[in-house]
Structure 1
Amino acid sequence: MSSPAADRARVADLDAQISFLERSLSELQSEKQLVLERLYSYKYPVLTVPTEIIAEIFIHFLPSYPVCPLLLGPDSPTLLTHICRKWREIALTTPALWRAISLLDSVIHGVDHDKLVDMCHTRSRCLPLHLHFSWIFAPAHTAEFLASVVPHRVRWEYLNLRYLPVSHLHILEGPMPLLRRLDWLSHLPTATKFACHEAPTYAQLFLTPLPLGA
Structure 2
Amino acid sequence: MADVAARADTPPRPTHIVLRRRPAEGPESEADRDLGVIMLALEERNEACKNIEVVLQIDRTNIALISQLPAEIICEIFQCLKATLEAYGSLTAWTTVTHVCRQWREIALDCPALWATLTDAIPPRWLEAMLIRSKTAPLSITFNHNPVTKPTPAVSVLAEALCETDRLREVSVSGGGLSKLLLPLKNPTPLLESVLIRVTPPSRIPQETSPLPEGFIQRVSPRLTHVDLYGWSPSFDSPVFSSLTRLRIDVGPDINYYFNTTPKGLVPEGDIFRAISRMPGLVELSLALPSPVIKQSPSRARIEPIRLAHLKALSIKTTCESCAQRGID
Bin of the TM-score, shorter chain as denominator length: 0.5 to 0.7
Distance in 2 between residues matched to 1:143 and 1:87, nearest whole Å: 28
Distance in 1 between residues matched to 2:192 and 2:248, nearest whole Å: 10
Offset, 1:91: 1.6
Q: Secondary structure at the match of 1:63?
A: helix
Q: Secondary structure at the match of 2:94?
A: coil
Offset, 1:132: 1.4
Match of 2:163 in 1: 148
Match of 2:145 in 1: 135
1:18 to 2:32 alignment = yes
Q: Secondary structure at the match of 2:83?
A: coil
Q: 2:172 aligns with which of 151, 154, 160?
A: 160
Distance in 2 between residues matched to 1:27 and 1:206, nearest whole Å: 75
Map 1:23-102 → 2, pairs under 5 A = 23-44=37-58, 45-48=60-63, 49-50=67-68, 51-63=71-83, 73-75=92-94, 86-99=103-116, 101-102=117-118
Does the CA-based 8 Å contact 2:118-2:158 persist in structure 1? Answer: no
Q: Which amino acid aligns with 2:107?
A: I
Distance in 2 between residues matched to 1:26 and 1:211, nearest whole Å: 77
Distance in 2 between residues matched to 1:195 and 1:146, nearest whole Å: 26
Match of 2:10 in 1: none
Q: Which amino acid aligns with 1:203?
A: R
Q: Hey, which of these two has a bigger chunk of helix by percent?
A: 1
Does the CA-based 8 Å contact 1:134-1:162 persist in structure 2? Answer: yes
Identity across matched positions, percent: 18
Offset, 1:83: 6.4
Distance in 1 between residues matched to 2:134 and 2:106, nearest whole Å: 14
Distance in 1 between residues matched to 2:80 and 2:90, nearest whole Å: 15
Which structure exhibits the higher relative contact order, with contacts defined as CA atoms closer than 8 Å and separated by 6 or more residues? 1
Structure 2: stretches of 5+ with no match in the other structure: 1-18, 203-210, 212-230, 260-329
Distance in 1 between residues matched to 2:143 and 2:171, nearest whole Å: 8
Offset, 1:188: 4.0
Q: 1:103 aligns with which of 97, 119, 122?
A: 119
Q: List per-residue Cα deviations over 1:46-105 (Å, max 9, x = no partner).
A: 4551433432332222106x97x887x4336xx677666543431233244234x2221x
Structure 1: stretches of 5+ with no match in the other structure: none
Q: Which amino acid aligns with 1:29?
A: E
Does the CA-based 8 Å contact 1:55-1:90 persist in structure 2? Answer: yes
Q: Which has the larger radius of gyration?
A: 2
Distance in 1 between residues matched to 2:244 and 2:191, nearest whole Å: 6
- Total equivalences in the alignment: 194
Q: Secondary structure at the match of 1:42?
A: helix
Match of 2:199 in 1: 186
Q: Which amino acid aligns with 1:58?
A: F
Q: Which amino acid aligns with 1:131?
A: I
